[in-house]
């Protein structure tokens, strides 16, 4: 049905895609797997006409397919369902589905004809229960997604691409989505399903294609490969190389949280963390993991509950927590983690200027000297210490953010998705840094949505759902399936 051959695409000096092959047949679900930055989104942007490939060809049903833009691709029968939904929330289901495709005469809508198209499409998906007159803003995220899929059907899309569609869905909606995808498959359409949840991929897909560093790393039938094999394809090295192990020994308890309540989340979380321990926190997006860290650090308001650092109870504010030995790496480097327009140096030392100042005056030379040391220690690649962080790659930016809390001398590291949007090589370096910190007697709270890294790095893993910690066990007592089922049960 769809064939992409020898697709290459460059952005300036960056090779985004190189000679990528991809094909999907009618009545088939192809899982497109790869790490962040592997080129999945770029490839899909080429398919949807948002980017033009530098070389390579695409065919749709045997005829050449060269979309001039997203609209041309849609008309030719390729529909994208993105993670972030593109809906006008104040309009009705029907108006959203027909937006830009309105049936009209002399500028007046032909409501009856539209209604028929919409209900037919909803029926195809097995969801006649969705009323066309409902305002989209009143629907759940899952139902809104359904509206987007219905739109694809009304446009008679033959190839439907799902880009990480379950990342913000509760379990019930995930099941419903999978039923809808089944319907599309039996309706003889071709489906591309992008995800990095291997469990999901196994459930829904027939074949897989793995992208790594902009190249096709492997394709095959999903039933024929193990999870380990897929991960190795994704990261391009054996799992052992990706997760360097630094021996460390958990000691006494340094942080205790008892029945912590935030404004909405966390809703009654208790946990304790020991020196020299890496404690992972898993869960779905929206489970309250980020909020837990933010409450701990005093960035979000604590409603009730107790936080003790080294046995001393505290009312957190960022200033106090820094003084108490906590450090937080934000999940959002761009808008919170780093001051993008400031230099590497300024970002590194901002939370602890004391060593360089006397009576409120700073000695810049001392900062440069110490900053260079830290850059060397963490192998930050940059033109120099004065370069603004916005010019650095994601991986190097993250190293600066981690350097800050190490420089600050934090004993408890709160890491929120520290490897998100980072290339594999840097990820591995960050794992090593985390291991070394633990070996150094620091306590690490490691929030991540990427299960393999938690499984490989953590001493214990806690699973959060709906603002509470569902279970906390030694890593050896967990399986990925156990964790997922704890994360998605209500």
Partner 1 sequence: MPEATSPDSIKPSSFIAKLVSGELGTLLALAAVIIFFAVADPIQNGDRASFVTVRNFRVMMTQTSIVAVAALGMTMIIISGGIDLSAGTALTLSATVLAWFLKNDYPAFAAVAVCLLTGVTCGLINGLLISSLRIVPFIVTLGTMTIFLGIGKLVSNETTIFPSAAQRPDWISNLCSTKPPDMLAGGMPNLPLAVWITLLLAIATTVLLKYSVFGRYIYALGSNESTARLCGLNIPLVKTAVYAVAGLFVGVAGMYQFGLLKMGNPVEGIGLELKIIAAVVIGGGSLNGGRGSILGTLAGAAIMTVIASGCDLLEVRNPYQNIIVGVIIVAAVLLDQVRERRLAA
Binding footprint of partner 1 on the chain (CB under 8 A): 11, 13-16, 35-37, 39, 41-42, 213-214, 297, 299, 317-319, 321-323, 328, 330, 335-342, 346-347, 350-351, 353, 357, 360-362, 364, 381-383, 387-388, 390-396, 404, 421-423
CA separation for the pair 394, 462 (Å, rounded): 27
Give me the least distance between CB of 154 and partner 1, in Å please: 32
- Specify the residue, 157 or 445, whose C-beta has the smaller distance to partner 1: 445
Give me the least distance between CB of 362 and partner 1, in Å please: 5
Give me the least distance between CB of 284 and partner 1, in Å please: 22
Question: Do you find a cis peptide bond into 413, omega within 30 degrees of 0?
Answer: no
Cβ atoms of residues 18 and 214 within 8 Å: yes
- Specify the residue, 304 or 357, whose C-beta has the smaller distance to partner 1: 357
- Specify the residue, 142 or 371, whose C-beta has the smaller distance to partner 1: 371
Phi then psi for residue 251, to 5 deg, are: -115, -135
Give me the least distance between CB of 30 and partner 1, in Å please: 21
Give me the least distance between CB of 70 and partner 1, in Å please: 18
- Specify the residue, 101 or 353, whose C-beta has the smaller distance to partner 1: 353
- Specify the residue, 35 or 163, whose C-beta has the smaller distance to partner 1: 35
Give me the least distance between CB of 436 and partner 1, in Å please: 22
Query: Which DSSP symbol is given to 326?
Result: E
Give me the least distance between CB of 364 and partner 1, in Å please: 7
- Specify the residue, 15 or 111, whose C-beta has the smaller distance to partner 1: 15
Give me the least distance between CB of 332 and partner 1, in Å please: 8
CA separation for the pair 447, 257 (Å, rounded): 16
Paired residues of 33 in beta bridges: 210
Phi then psi for residue 370, to 5 deg, are: -70, -40
Q: For the chain, what is the largest distance between any 2 Cα atoms, rounded to a whole number of angstroms?
A: 77
Cβ atoms of residues 443 and 415 within 8 Å: no
CA separation for the pair 396, 391 (Å, rounded): 10
- Specify the residue, 156 or 379, whose C-beta has the smaller distance to partner 1: 379
CA separation for the pair 255, 324 (Å, rounded): 11
What residues contact 450, with CB distance under 8 A and at least 6 apart? 196, 419, 420
CA distances from 390 to 347, 370, 394, 416 (A): 11, 21, 9, 20
**For residue 300, what are its two tokens?**
């979000």
Cβ atoms of residues 85 and 32 within 8 Å: no
Burial (CB < 10 A; 0-12, 13-18, 19+), residue 138, is: exposed
- Specify the residue, 94 or 416, whose C-beta has the smaller distance to partner 1: 416
What residues contact 12, with CB distance under 8 A and at least 6 apart? none
Give me the least distance between CB of 42 and partner 1, in Å please: 6
Cα 224 from chain centre: 27
- Specify the residue, 99 or 323, whose C-beta has the smaller distance to partner 1: 323
Cβ atoms of residues 427 and 418 within 8 Å: no
- Specify the residue, 445 or 483, whose C-beta has the smaller distance to partner 1: 445
The interaxial angle of helices 394-407 and 364-377, nearest 10 deg, is 120
Give me the least distance between CB of 33 and partner 1, in Å please: 15
């Amino acid at each position: 049905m769809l064939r992409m051959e020898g697709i290459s695409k460059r952005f300036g000096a960056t090779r985004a895609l190189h000679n990528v092959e991809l094909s999907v047949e009618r009545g088939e679900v192809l899982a497109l797997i790869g790490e962040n930055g592997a080129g999945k989104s770029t490839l899909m942007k080429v398919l949807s006409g948002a980017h033009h490939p530098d070389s390579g060809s695409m065919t749709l049903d045997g005829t050449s397919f060269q979309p001039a833009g997203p609209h041309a691709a849609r008309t030719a029968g390729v529909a994208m369902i993105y993670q972030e939904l593109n809906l006008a929330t104040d309009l009705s289901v029907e108006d959203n589905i027909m937006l830009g495709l309105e049936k009209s005469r002399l500028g007046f809508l032909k409501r009856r004809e539209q209604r028929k198209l919409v209900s037919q499409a909803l029926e195809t998906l097995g969801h006649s229960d969705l009323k066309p007159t409902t305002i989209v803003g009143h629907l759940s995220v899952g139902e809104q997604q359904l509206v987007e899929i219905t739109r694809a059907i009304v446009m008679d899309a033959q190839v439907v691409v799902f880009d990480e569609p379950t990342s913000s869905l509760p379990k019930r909606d995930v099941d419903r989505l999978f039923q809808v995808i089944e319907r599309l498959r039996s309706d003889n359409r071709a489906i591309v399903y992008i995800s990095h949840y291997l469990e999901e991929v196994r459930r829904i897909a027939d074949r897989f294609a793995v992208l790594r560093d902009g190249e096709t790393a492997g394709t095959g039938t999903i039933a024929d490969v193990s999870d380990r094999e897929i991960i190795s394809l994704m990261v391009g090295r054996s799992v052992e190389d990706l997760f360097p192990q630094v021996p460390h020994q958990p000691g006494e308890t340094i942080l205790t949280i008892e029945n912590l309540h935030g404004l909405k989340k966390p809703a009654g979380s208790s946990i304790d963390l020991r020196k020299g321990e890496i404690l992972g926190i898993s869960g779905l997006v929206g489970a309250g993991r980020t909020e837990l860290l933010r409450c701990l650090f005093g960035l979000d308001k604590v409603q009730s509950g107790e936080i003790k650092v080294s046995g001393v109870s505290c009312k957190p504010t960022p200033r106090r927590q820094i003084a108490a030995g906590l450090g937080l790496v934000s999940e959002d480097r761009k808008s919170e983690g780093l001051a993008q327009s400031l230099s590497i140096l300024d970002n590194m030392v901002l939370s602890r200027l004391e060593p360089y100042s006397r009576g409120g005056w700073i000695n810049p030379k001392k900062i440069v000297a110490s900053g260079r040391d830290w850059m060397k220690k963490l192998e930050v690649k940059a033109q120099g210490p004065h370069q603004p962080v916005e010019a650095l790659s994601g991986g190097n930016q993250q190293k600066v953010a981690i350097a800050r809390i190490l420089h600050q001398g934090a004993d408890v590291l709160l890491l929120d998705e520290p490897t998100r949007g980072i290339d594999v090589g840097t990820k591995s370096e960050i794992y090593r840094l985390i291991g070394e910190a633990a070996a150094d007697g620091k306590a690490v709270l490691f929030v991540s949505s990427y299960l393999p890294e938690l499984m490989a790095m953590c001493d214990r893993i806690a699973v959060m759902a709906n603002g509470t910690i569902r279970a906390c066990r030694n890593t050896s007592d967990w399986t990925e399936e156990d964790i997922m089922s704890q994360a998605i049960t209500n």
